[in-house]
Amino acid sequence: MQWENILGVNAASAADEINDPQERLLAQLITVRTVMFQGKDCGLDDMDWQSLFSWLGIKVPKDIEGSYRYGDYSPALKRWWKRTTAALDTTTTIHNTLTTLCDHIAVLLQLSVLETRLLMLTWLRLRYPQMNPVLVCVEDTRTKKLLAQLTGHSSDEVHLCLQDHGRLMMLGLLSNQRNLRSLDLDDSLTAGHMLLSLAPLVNQDVMTLSSSALRDFITERLMSLCPTQPVGAFSLASFDAVPLRQLAVDYLRQALNNQQAGANVLIYGEPGVGKTELVKTLASLLGVPLYGVPVVDNNDEALTPSKRLGRYQVVQKLIDQRPGLIMFDEIEDVINDDEALPKGWMNQLLENNPKPGLWVSNSVHWLDPAYLRRFDMIIEMKPQHGEQAKAHYCQLLNELPVTPQGRQQLALQPWMTPAAADQLCRLGRLFNPRTPKRNEQHIDTLMTHRLHALGNSLSRHQPDKTFTKVPTMPEYRMEWLNTRPGLENIVQRLARRQRGRLCLHGLPGSGKTAMAQHLANILGRELITAHASSLLDKYVGGTEEKLAALFAQARKKGAVLLLDEVDTLLMQRDNSMQSWEISHTNELLVQIENFDGILLATTNRVDSLDRAVIRRFDLKVEFLPLAPEPLRDLLQAVLPERDHARLATIPMGHLAQRRVTPGNVRTALDQLDLRGLPIRLNKLLDALALEEREQHGNRHSIGFI
């Protein structure tokens, strides 16, 4: 570092050395003309006059040193003006590095002649601080008139060009951080963030480049304002919770092929469900680059809403003749901000973009309907569920150092999203790979604290323990069920039809409720469970209101609806029933009749149901005790491997005599755990025999062997 840098010694001359002489002369001429335009109203002081004369290369007459009046300096200025302009060929076009860059930028960003000239004036002011004292003197009442003379346009045209929502402001070439009550020349020619990013180009040896090479050079510089996003890491099939994903691909391909203007897709959903990854996948499938509008600049400083929109506009103009998509993430920070732009301007932005825009948001409830109408497609992304989602999450969690069973349990958690899986894997790198069980305990604690901290935003995701410390049942397998008729074909038909009403009846613990959750997972839908007793209301008409609200909620969410213990509500209607009981039974019958989704009702007392109720279900499915082979498979899944050989020796006939349900097995495991007994074959068989006797009476001798 040099002392002269700190003290400002020779700062002006050092700057002049790197500038084009013709460019410097242009700045000097504009400055002198501005002074003469002001005349006696020019507010320069003695130091300003001396600095100006020094820059122009003329001496201040000794007899006027210390003066601040224009009249004392004007003769010398006029002589300089006459001498300088006489040497110029006024018929030729001004041609230097700055004007060349401005002309190319004007072509790329489709600027008018007036906008280009204002851009050049602003850039000159940015490069020559000697102009500033003169520009500050021009008051707002005379600014437009002076700019009109300098640019050769009318004052009204200048006024329109300098509006806050004009292209120079919105593209970030001029700054709109101005005093709205006054608009002096200094404010009008303040460089914006975009121009500041382009300013270093003047100091490069760009004049040696060809016209096309220079334009490509500027284009790449501007395109870097919205960096190219990484290629999508997932296939389209990974987003099975997005029913319109293929339509979105077809729509964007058509928009690109037909060069459709105003093509916009809005994608919204909870944080972490994979909205950004879906956009990357769409671009990868179409084989085009994806440009993303950042939220921070290269210095990690937050970009204001107007700056982000300015970058979006710039890149939209630049990729007009090349393939590509533009992603604008977190749009709620722009449209819903204090700096929100007029509705008409935003509507025009959505209608005129030459390349498809993909807009991403966490919610749309705050968006004005006028904006929503401008999106050809609006796609909601929900958390993924079902077998395909489970396989997808297991793949994402593959590097997590936990047991295979623990990984499957994590994949089934209601709070699991691609973002949550990525976070767990990053933390998992800190875990000891030799202690998977202890790692599962760490994850329990992590997620319990995390979900608790998130509060109401995840209130429906109960922060239950992911990995329980008690013996757990194996993953649900439909082939273990013993139903009449069989369920495999029925589930496939429900998946195709997307509607159906089933009454599931049979022994407690035989898998009726678990079947409902399994079906919802296969269909990728939410399961809404309502216990019949919770729907009963002590006030007349209250039960009917709860029933109507329940079915309305299921319709709105497209959920699988489960009515548990439905016999509580649908008893036989005889003379012994009260009128209010008949009323809510009739209401439920009407709701079942009109429901066009998937409805499951469970009961342990099918004989008590009203005959009219039975007719409203498409199918009655009876759940029976486990068949011998599925019973053996289930026991093998919960027993340690050293007991598998002994389990295989139990005769099939003995197993056929048992009336064991999956619920009995779960209860037996809990009993052994509470008593502190190990999960071994003999202990488990004894506990199951006791369960069987308690549930069915002493019909068989206790024991399996």
Query: How would residue 1 be classed by pLDDT, with cut points 50, 70 and 90?
Result: very low
The band of 701, judged by pLDDT with boundaries at 50, 70 and 90, is very low
Give residue 237's pLDDT.
Answer: 80
* Whole-number percent of the chain with pLDDT over 70: 85
| Distance between CA atoms of residues 162 and 182, nearest Å | 13
Q: How many beta carbons lie within 10 A of that of residue 258, not counting itself?
A: 9
Alpha helices by DSSP H, 128-179: 132-137, 140-151, 155-161, 167-170
pLDDT value of position 118:
92
Nearest one of 33, 36, 297, 251 to 150, comparing CA atoms: 33
Give me the residues paired with residue 602 across strands: 504
> pLDDT higher for 525 or 390?
525
Average pLDDT of span 514-540:
80
* SS3 annotation, 299-339: CCCECCHHHHHHHHHHHHHHHHHCCCEEEECCCHHHHCCCC
Q: Do 334 and 409 fall into the same domain?
A: no
Q: Which residues of 33-43 are buried (b: 16+ CB within 10 A; e: fewer)?
A: bbbebbeeebe
Best mean pLDDT range from 120-134, 225-239, 443-457, 539-553: 120-134
Residue 603: which domain range? 480-623
Interior/surface letters 50-67, b for 16+ CB within 10 angstroms, e for the rest: bbbbebbeeebeeebeee
CA distances from 287 to 232, 252, 264 (A): 11, 11, 18
Indicate if the pLDDT at residue 233 is higher than 50.
yes
Q: What is the pLDDT of residues 664-680, one digit of tens each?
A: 998 898 888 888 888 88
Give the pLDDT confidence score for residue 93 in this predicted structure: 76
Confidence of residue 240 (pLDDT cuts 50, 70, 90): confident
In this structure, is the dihedral angle defined by the CA atoms of residues 120, 125, 126 and 127, taken in order, positive or negative? positive
Residue with tokens 């079915």: 551
527 and 416 in a single domain? The answer is no
Determine the Cα–Cα distance for residues 627 and 652; give it in Å rounded to an integer: 10
411 shares a domain with 373: no
The pLDDT-based confidence of 183 (bands split at 50, 70, 90) is low
Angle between helices 97-109 and 211-223 in degrees, nearest 10: 60
CB pairs under 8 A, 24+ apart, for 646-653?
646/681, 647/681, 650/704, 650/705, 652/628
Q: What is the dihedral of CA 22, 28, 33, 35, to 10 degrees?
A: 180
**Block residue for tokens 């009846």:** 505
State mean pLDDT over 341-348: 71
- Considering the domain architecture, whether residues 81 and 22 belong to the same structural domain is answered as yes
Verify that 176 and 259 share a domain, yes or no. no
- pLDDT of 507: 86
CATH code of residue 323 = 3.40.50.300
* 318 inside domain: yes
CA dist 425 to 403, 410, 431, Å? 14, 12, 10
Give the whole-angstrom CA distance, residue 648 versus residue 636.
9
Domain annotation covers residue 213:
no
474-490 pLDDT per residue, tens: 777 888 888 999 888 88
Fill in the amino acid letter for 366: W
Percentage of residues in the chain having pLDDT higher than 90: 16
Integer CA distances (angstroms), 210 to 100, 101, 104, 215, in order: 11, 12, 12, 8
- Whether omega for the bond prior to residue 485 falls within 30 degrees of 0, making it cis, is yes
Contact 688, 668 (CB under 8 A): yes
Quickly state the pLDDT bin for 11 (edges 50, 70, 90).
very low
Chain position carrying tokens 């509507």:
347
Judge whether 701 lies within some domain. no
Angle of the 662-674 helix axis to the 628-638 helix axis, nearest 10: 30
Specify which residues 378 forms β-bridges with: 266
Q: Establish if 295 belongs to a structural domain.
A: yes
The answer to the question of residue 168 being in a domain is yes
- Give the end of a domain, one of 350, 381, 412: 381
pLDDT digits (tens, 9 = 90+) for 88-118: 877 777 777 788 888 888 888 888 999 999 9
For residue 168, the one-letter residue type is: L
Q: Which of the residue ranges 87-101, 573-587, 689-703 has the most confident prediction, judged by mean pLDDT?
A: 87-101
Mean pLDDT computed over 155-183: 74
Distance CA 270, CA 279 (A): 15
Which of 603, 623, 643 represents a domain boundary (last residue)?
A: 623
Residues 35 and 165 in one domain: yes
170 lies in some domain: yes
Domain termination site, one of 569, 602, 623: 623
Whether residues 593 and 529 share a domain: the answer is yes
Do 510 and 566 belong to one domain?
Answer: yes
703 is a domain residue: no
What's the pLDDT band for 387 if we cut at 50, 70, 90? low
Q: What confidence tens digit (pLDDT) does each residue in 628-673 have?
A: 999 999 999 888 888 898 999 999 888 888 889 998 998 898 888 8
Flag whether pLDDT at 456 surpasses 50. no
521 CB neighbour count, 10 Å cutoff: 19
pLDDT at 573: 47
Mean pLDDT, the chain, integer: 81
Residues 266 and 340 in one domain: yes
Q: Report angle CA 624, 629, 632 to the nearest 5 degrees.
A: 100
Shared domain check, 488 and 399: no
DSSP assignment string, 12-41? HHHHHHTS-HHHHHHHHHHHHHHHHHHGGG
Distance (Å, whole) CA 562 – CA 553:
12
Q: Name which of 110, 360, 357, 359 is nearest 256 in CA terms.
A: 357
Q: Are 407 and 260 in contact (CB under 8 A)?
A: no
Buried b vs exposed e over 640-657: b needs ≥16 C-beta within 10 Å? eeebeeebeebeeeebee
What's residue 561's pLDDT? 92
Cα separation, 607 vs 571, whole angstroms: 9
Q: 564 and 529 in contact (C-beta within 8 Å)?
A: yes
466 assigned to some structural domain: no
Which pLDDT score is estimated for 290? 93
* Domains of the chain: total: 5
Give the model's pLDDT for residue 462.
43
DSSP secondary structure, 194-244, as one string: HHHHHGGGGGS-GGGS-HHHHHHHHHHHHHTTSPBPPPP-S-GGG-TT-TT
**Local confidence band at 339 (pLDDT 50, 70, 90 cut-offs):** low
Tokens for 688?
């199951």
Residues 364, 245 share a domain: yes
Distances, alpha carbon 493 to alpha carbons 487, 514, 589, in Å: 10, 19, 24
Q: Assess whether pLDDT exceeds 90 at residue 179.
A: no
Lookup: tokens for 356:
């498809």
- 280 and 251 share one domain: yes
Q: Has residue 216 got a pLDDT over 90?
A: no
Residue-wise pLDDT tens digits, 134-153: 988 888 788 889 999 988 89
Residue 527 above 60 pLDDT?
A: yes
* pLDDT tens by residue, 307-323: 788 888 888 888 866 78
